[in-house]
Structure 1
Amino acid sequence: AWVDFLDMYEKVAVRNYIVGMEKDKMHERGISMRIHERMENSTYIDLETNKKTHSAEMVKVVRQHLSDIKKEK
């Protein structure tokens, strides 16, 4: 379970995106947000459903993340 890794989340120092699916009926609400809250350099994005996390919308999120990283260098 995700709670078994709480101490590991807190150790992640790299910039990252946490993608939630808060309206999805097959996933417990709030887990992604709780993980995000433990990761200092994370950005939380709620795509609402599992279907959206496997869509073109998710590709846009990843591209934006990579673009942001490139601008920082």
Structure 2
Amino acid sequence: MQYLSGKAYPIFDADLGFEMGDKRLNDAGKVLRLLYIQDLRKLQTSINECIVATQTITANPKTDSRLGKVGR
């Protein structure tokens, strides 16, 4: 697992968006939400890598000027 460095995120100061009635449950919900967001970010990165790989295979920047006309 790769650990990121930088400024710490104030997880327990952030708003969960709803209250569950117990501070411990709210804190657990915040942790789970951040872990879910991290998983989504990893998935998005993998999808982007697949798109780039597909584009490198299918992209053909070569042009053949004999095949087209410009103007009338």
* Band of TM-score, shorter chain: 0.3 to 0.5
Higher helix share: 2
Larger Rg: 2
TM-score (norm 2): 0.34
Using CA pairs under 8 Å that are at least 6 residues apart, name the structure with larger relative contact order, 1 or 2.
Answer: 1
Higher strand share: 1
TM-score (norm 1): 0.34
